[in-house]
Amino acid sequence: MRIIICALLLSLLLPSSFASPSSPQSQWLTLTSRLQLNTPFGEIKISPSDYLYESRLLIDEAETVPPIIGYLNISYVFSTPGKQAVLVSIHTGEESCPTHYRWLLLKSESYVISPQFGSCSSHIRVDKRGKTLILQTPNPDSPEKTDEYQYDGQHLVKKIR
C-alpha cells in the first residue's frame, strides 16, 4: 500500500516535462452537475420537470426573470465580495447546438442574468479577470482556436483566440 501511495505522490511531483504530452482535448473541463446551491444571497435550485428539457432555474423557490429553461446544471461558482457568480449550463435538446450558458450574478436583494451564449460545446474553461467572468470553449469551426466569452455583469463579448 505504501508503494502505491509513494508512486502516486511521485507522479504528482514530477515536472511536466517528464509527463507525456497532453492532447488539446484533455485541457478542457467537462461540465459538472449540481442541482442546488446555497449562497449568502439565497438558495439556487433547479426545479425538475416531467419533460427532460423543461427544468427551470429557481432562486428561493421563485422562477428567474427571464426564465432559464432546459436540461440545467449549475456548472461553476465564483464567490466575490458582495456577490456570487453562477454559471448555468443549458441543454436544449437541439442536435445541432445542444449546450448554451448563462451567468447568474447574485447580490443581496437582486440578481442579473446574462444573455445566452456559447459555441455549442460542453467542454469549458472558466476564469475570472478582475470583475470580468471568462468562459472558453473550443471553436466549432477551427479546432486550434478558442471562443472566449467575457461578461462583466452588463456586457457579453465574444472573442476568437
Write the DSSP string, the chain: -HHHHHHHHHHHHS-GGGSPPPPGGGGSEEPP---EEEETTEEEEEEP-SSGGGEEEEETTEE-SS--EEEEEEEEEEEETTEEEEEEEEE---SSS-EEEEEEEEETTEEEEPPPB--S-SEEEEEEETTEEEEEEE-SS-TT-EEEEEE-SS-EEEEE-
Taking the alpha carbons at both ends of the chain, their separation in whole angstroms is 46
What percentage of the chain reaches a pLDDT higher than 90? 47
Answer whether residue 8 shows pLDDT above 70. Answer: no
Contacts of 37 (CB under 8 A, 6+ apart): 43, 44, 45, 74, 77, 86
Answer whether residue 20 shows pLDDT above 60. Answer: no
What percentage of the chain reaches a pLDDT higher than 70? 80
pLDDT tens-place string over residues 105-140: 999 889 999 999 988 888 889 999 988 999 999 988
Query: Any idea where the domains of the chain sit in the sequence?
Result: 29-160
pLDDT tens-place string over residues 23-64: 344 465 555 667 888 888 889 999 988 888 899 999 999 999
Q: 11 or 34: which carries more pLDDT confidence?
A: 34
* pTM for this prediction: 0.77
- Report the mean per-residue pLDDT for the chain: 80
User: Is the peptide bond preceding residue 143 cis, with omega within 30 degrees of 0?
Assistant: no
